[in-house]
Chain A
Amino acid sequence: MSEKLKPAKLLVIASKAGRVTKRYPYDEPLLSPDFRGKITIDENLCIGCGACVNACPPNALQLMKDKDTVVLRYFVGRCIFCWRCVDVCPVGAIKGLREFELATNDISDLYVHVVHKKAKCEKCEGEGATQRMLYYVVQKSPIVEEYLNECPDCRRKSFIDSVVKRRTGGVSE
């Protein structure tokens, strides 16, 4: 008899468990303290180095370059919320949020753009890294000042020139 009545024990379990569904928009959502949501980029800290772009698995972060500017673009639609960018950012400009309600009817809400000025080369008008990154590098390890305002190509050239000068004693043929 008891074996046959066993299925009815579910009634006891159900009344003990009660109602478990969250009345979500009215109640607090069921979120753990460590939940990974979307990220935010601090425009004042970002140096445009592209470390986050290299680490991002789904290409949600992209560097777009044109003549004078470098734009770091974050597209929430591609983001997988892994927070690798938070791990690798050298200046702590990227922070993770617990935000997860990302639906919108305006697609521009899904993009974040951080615009950087490119450092101009003194000699050839060519391009180098962003200005902020140059300052960052100088702060971290002071380098020879005279090359600072040059693009990588010109820097290489002037280095070779200085070696040649030293060899020939400053006298060219």
Chain B
Amino acid sequence: MIKIRYFGSLKETLNTTEEQLDWQKGLTTDKLLQELRQRDATWAEALAEKNVFRLVVNQQVVYQPVAIKEGDEVAVLPPVTGG
């Protein structure tokens, strides 16, 4: 299993704060996003490239696609509005 967490507006748009999914061999952050976008039009738009600011795997920001291991936690961050 892997855990996926959503923040900010994504939580409301997708109506979920976190979820668990079965882990699959060869899973990467890119593949995970592609799979989530295929759920329906809402997910496709919410997780469109322009709406995903950054991914965080096990509390480490990742800047390039990385492999996801069994038990990992992946967080999806929408564009930030800090300060």
Say whether A associates with B: no
